[in-house]
Amino acid sequence: MAPPPLLLLQDIRLMFGTTPLLGGATLSVSPGERLALIGRNGSGKSTLLKIAAGEAQADSGTRFLQPGATVRYLPQEPDLSSYANVMAYVETGLTAGDDPYRAQYLLEQLGLTGEEKPANLSGGEARRAALARALAPSPDILLLDEPTNHLDLPAIEWLEQEIASMRSALVLISHDRRFLEKLTREMVWLDRGVTRRLARGFAHFEAWRDEVLEQEEQEAHKLDRQIVREEHWMRYGVTARRKRNVRRVAELAGLRQQRRERKAAQGGVRMAAAESEASGTLVISAENIRKAYGDRVVVDDFSTRIIRGDRVGIVGPNGAGKTTLLSMLTGTLAPDSGEVKLGTNLEMVTLDQRRAALDPNTTVAQSLTDGRGDQVWVNGQPRHVIGYMKDFLFGPEQARTPVSALSGGERGRLLLARAFATPSNLLVLDEPTNDLDLETLDLLQEQIAEYSGTVIVVSHDRDFLDRVATDVIAWEGEGQWQDYPGGYSDMVAQRGHGVRAREDAARKSTPAPAAAKPAAAAAPARKKLSFKDQHELDTLPAKMRKLEAEAAKLKEILADPGLYARDRARFDKATELLARSEAQLAEAEERWLELEMLREEAEG
């Protein structure tokens, strides 16, 4: 018998202005379940998650939470304004029995110290603090809304491992396919205000969704045919007598009402890039380029050649210099040394991750027409701005909506609409997948595949890179960059690991003492133990004493000379447990010795 749900939402209904956002949605979360909440941008996923967290109220419906169950929620826009610093904010998520070291450990892993003041945090830093607060207590239910936003590849892969090791039930909203595949086992699809559930992993979701939509189309076709038959009867089926059959008239009225109320599936994004004349065969040639800011070398002696039709991905941790390298390759930033040559007949369009090309004070229509008239020119042909907006899922009523009022996903689609309306043969995409839903991502990938020009893309989305990239330029540490053929997975197979954090890569790339210059032969600076290591060092002695006591007790049992003949099963079990305890004790003692040596080295 299945355990009762920890959290249950039933028949949740909510109006957004005069438009129904949720029209009878349900959500059930049982212990240990791992659910992905999937849906289009604007379908109400974040709102439903807020209602599940108790942060928002529905117009109607019920929310039930098991007494004593703990819930932690990661919002897209956390508010830290009432806290003295980040550590104070994270610690409020802990309960009496939680490990106080865990808050510092999580902040350290997410690149924060805890001393940061909320007023000085960027949006990304605030979300990382909120993520640490949600994970710190290991709650019964974890509700995460786009947790990978503003995280680089090393942090995303760390987060995957951290969540996978937790026992919490999980409800996850994310556009990162790889992240969803690794962490979720069931799908909840929110579509047109209602939810459907698939008891299989994300790999099966898209085929199932297409089957559901195809079945809906068939049922809609049957309904239309039935209405046609009834209307024909109304006109021609009663020529012998003029009195209408009241029951059939009522049935026809009901069928017409059913058709009016039927919500058609939202149309897909229709994007096509306006392409200019072909560029020369050689698009970009970089020879021994170098860039440094003070003592920090960002790019050191890097060379590459990009040929027409290449799709080049650039990967690395935050702060590695991906945007700097991209700017040098595209000619917007001069290298300190070396040379970059751009090919002939290049027409470049850039999509900036900061959405800087969008003026928040203009409307959607003005952003597409540059404020000139009501037409957009695509591939040399005029199109009315309303029709072009519909291709990117904007309704006619949004034509006068200010850019500042758009969601992150809507701003992303608007920027794509602008970029694809401009003739180009070189697309430069800096984090294009941010805030896009899965359907829009699919179409963006298809468009890049069909684009006859050249594409350079900076992304932290592993699945996106696997689908579009023909080459990957990866950061190797200390200003070193290496070109690998293939997508992200091909790069991992060639180098033996994914993108490392800056600190890890710095340790890997540190030269051997013999290779160091005489002036640099001084002893390296001592590094303090991390909070995680210090916590482990503090707790290992108690763990070792417990293991020693267990081993002593088992040895007493096995000391009985008649045990083997009297109770063979107990003898075998005790022998097995003793071997396990002694192995764990040896491992703990070795780890304690390693940490103690590190501590002594750090303290000099």
Mean pLDDT value across the chain: 82
| Burial class for 597, CB neighbours closer than 10 Å (0-12, 13-18, 19+) | exposed
Same fold: 7-207 with 282-505: yes
Q: Which pTM was predicted?
A: 0.69
Residue whose tokens read 């800096």: 430
Which residues are known binding-site members for ATP?
A: 39-46, 316-323
Give, in words, the CATH class of 282-505.
Answer: alpha beta
The model's confidence at residue 267, banded by pLDDT at 50, 70 and 90, is: low
DSSP string, 249-293: HHHHHHHHHHHHHPPPPPPPP-----B-S---SEEEEEEEEEEEE
Mean pLDDT, range 298-320, rounded to an integer = 92
Parse the chain into domains and list their residue ranges.
Answer: 7-207, 208-261, 282-505, 531-603
The CATH code of the domain at 531-603 is 1.10.287.380
Residues 6+ apart with CB under 8 A from 181: 201, 202, 203
The model's confidence at residue 406, banded by pLDDT at 50, 70 and 90, is: confident
pLDDT computed for residue 89 by the predictor: 94
Q: How far apart are CA 26 and CA 11, in angstroms?
A: 6
Write the pLDDT tens digit of every residue in 435-450. 777 877 887 888 788 8
Write the pLDDT tens digit of every residue in 210-237. 888 788 777 776 766 766 666 665 555 5
pLDDT computed for residue 528 by the predictor: 60
List the single range of 19-33, 257-271, 297-311, 512-526 with lowest mean pLDDT.
512-526
The model's confidence at residue 557, banded by pLDDT at 50, 70 and 90, is: confident
Extract the tokens encoding 261: 């109320």
What CATH fold (topology level) applies to the domain 7-207? Answer: Rossmann fold (3.40.50)
Q: 315 - beta bridge partners?
A: 474
Mean pLDDT, range 159-170, rounded to an integer = 93
Which residues are known binding-site members?
A: 39-46, 316-323
pLDDT computed for residue 496 by the predictor: 85
Phi, then psi, of 308 in degrees rounded to 5: -55, 130
